Amino acid sequence: MKIFSFGQGGSLFAMLQRFGKALMLPIATLPAAGLLLGIGGTLSNPNTLQAFGFLDIRWIQIIFLLMESAGEIVFNNLPVLFAVGLSTGLSRQDKGTVGLAAILSMLIMNATIHTALDLTGKLVEENMSSVGQGMCLGIQTLETGVFGGMLVGIMVYWLHEKFYKTKLPTYLGFFSGSRFVPIICALASISLGISMYVIWPGFQLVISEFGGLFKDTGYIGTLFYGFFLRMLGIFGLHHIFYLPFWTTGLGGSEIINGQIVEGTQRIFFAQLSDPSTVKYYEGISRFMSGRFITMMFGLIGAAFAMYKTSKPQNRKIVGGMLFSAALTSFLTGITEPLEFSFLFVAPMLYVLHAFFDGCAFMLAHIFQITIGQTFSGGLIDFILFGIAQGEAKTNWLYVPLIGVPWFFLYYFSFKFLIEKYNYKTPGRDEDLLEEKVLSDDEQTKLIISGLGGRENISDFDCCITRLRVTVKDASLVNDETLKSSGSHGIIKQGVGVQIVYGMHVTNIKNNLDEALK
């Protein structure tokens, strides 16, 4: 049986799209946790209180400490979140059973590893991090991190798909169907725990060596990281690429308060809550900070160039659209509404944008800008994790110093290429009319029609800005109808369809869900 099944006409893109969609479920918890940890950790930090003494009031500090604890517990239990989030995100039905089985499997896998370490005399009482051990759900075990959680999530999903319709003999009938899933998952988790005990130390070494290889490539390696990250954004697969660097040993490891912490983002938030932190981890400058330069400055220049090159009679409409998209990028770091305004009409502009983004990552690495983030690189994260942390820790002043020239780099490059090759960016072709404001029902009907009707929709969900759909027959999908529903762009690969709507896509998905029911 295939782990991912899409029926007739399935494709690798559809598989990756579904996997990426499932990953967004646990990833979506990180911004809220990051804000709690960022605000609480920053404003309860003794170094901060030296500058803001008026906050040193007991009841205020209690609130900040509670916020810090609430955020910290999330990042300390990312493997569990990914096990539950990935398994339930992949499953189409019976999600409650799947989530319960994932937690059960995490407990049993780690308890099995703990027992194996104990029986072989490898369980240490002190300095666990030095031998790759740590705590998970109160169990001393190998530090498998998010990879371990993802393995459990995939295993539980596969076992559920295979066994949730199992029929047992009459005298065992109570354990048939969904009730059989936790049983088979528990047994499989013992085997997984034994396997992880045997292979994981070697895998840890491979990860360390691979991370070291990436580190040895220096600034050029950072440039390629940023470039490929942006190019994968076309297909909505970028989080599959950066997630291992953010949450596993590929992003490096640090010992903080006697515990080994792996992954750039996890290291950042561990240091954020550590008052002794003097300078944030170098890996942040490689895998995170370059985003602020592009999203807060570069793309704003691109938007201004498209506005200036549009027909004068279209500028009122184009300006409103581009201003909204640019403001979204600047404040939140969500770039799809802006990027998709030029991706399909001028793909070379997107390649240039990806190269500039890679250069921005390289400059952040060169100038050691160590501003962390929850999931994106907009003004909110810049203030909270850059300015509020102090120049000494983050070198945040380099962002506007590089960002202002970056704005003009994008502006003049885009303006020159648009005019030279007559790219049909917004407002350069036909005269635009004010778009009709669609009601929820009208928009939903257009989407269903554009996807080939109810019977053609096999599966759907959404991420931050995209409606992600698996259809039965891709030839029935009508791009023009989908565009009339308010879409910023459409990506099709096999039976996988992504429709870009922007930040309100969750409401669109919920309306579609209700209509199809």
CATH code of the domain containing 503: 3.30.1360.60
Q: What is the mean pLDDT of residues 117-128?
A: 86
Give the whole-angstrom CA distance, residue 422 versus residue 290.
Answer: 30
Question: Do residue 345 and residue 452 come from a single domain?
Answer: no
Domain membership flag for residue 113: yes
Please give the Cα distance from 12 to 4 (Å, whole number).
10
Q: 486 or 45: which carries more pLDDT confidence?
A: 486
Residue 251, both tokens: 């992003």
Does residue 444 sit in the same domain as residue 413?
no
Tell me how crowded residue 53 is: count the other CB atoms within 10 A of its CB. 9
* Same domain as 68, residue 19: yes
Record the pTM.
0.67
Confidence tier at 433 by pLDDT (50, 70, 90):
very low
Instruction: Tell me how far CA of residue 403 lies from CA of 298, 407, 435, in angstroms.
Output: 7, 6, 34
How many angstroms separate the Cα of 221 from the Cα of each of 211, 224, 293, 371?
Answer: 11, 5, 18, 19
Same domain, 499 and 414: no
pLDDT digits (tens, 9 = 90+) for 83-95: 998 899 888 788 8
Q: Do residues 153 and 192 make contact, with C-beta atoms less than 8 angstroms apart?
A: no
Together in a domain, 73 and 143: yes
As for how many domains the chain has, the answer is 3
Q: Give domain status of residue 47, yes or no.
A: yes
* 267 falls within a domain: no
Q: Is position 233 within any domain?
A: no
Query: Does one domain contain both 201 and 350?
Result: no
| 184 and 136 inside one domain | yes
Contact indicator for 300, 327 with CB cutoff of 8 Å: no
Do residues 128 and 58 both lie within one domain? yes
Residues 416 and 355 in one domain: yes
Is 239 inside any structural domain? Answer: no
* pLDDT given for residue 4 in this prediction: 44
If asked whether residues 398 and 458 sit together in one domain, one would say no
Find the domain containing 481 and state its range. Answer: 440-516
Mean of the pLDDT values across residues 404-417?
A: 96
Q: Are residues 180 and 115 in the same domain?
A: yes
Q: Indicate the residue among 393, 421, 449 that finishes a domain.
A: 421
Point out the domain boundary residue: 162, 184, 216: 216
Task: Give pLDDT tens digits for 199-235.
Answer: 988 887 776 676 666 667 889 989 988 998 898 877 6
Q: Are residues 364 and 324 in the same domain?
A: yes
Question: Tens of pLDDT along 336-374?
Answer: 778 878 887 888 999 999 999 999 999 999 999 999 887
Does a structural domain hold residue 456?
A: yes
Is residue 271, in this structure, part of any structural domain at all?
no
H or E segment to which residue 460 belongs: strand 457-462
- Give 179's pLDDT tier (boundaries 50, 70, 90): confident
pLDDT > 70 fraction of the chain, expressed in percent and rounded: 88
In this structure, is residue 236 part of a structural domain?
Answer: no
Give the pLDDT confidence score for residue 335 in this predicted structure: 83
Among residues 373, 388, 421, the one where a domain terminates is: 421
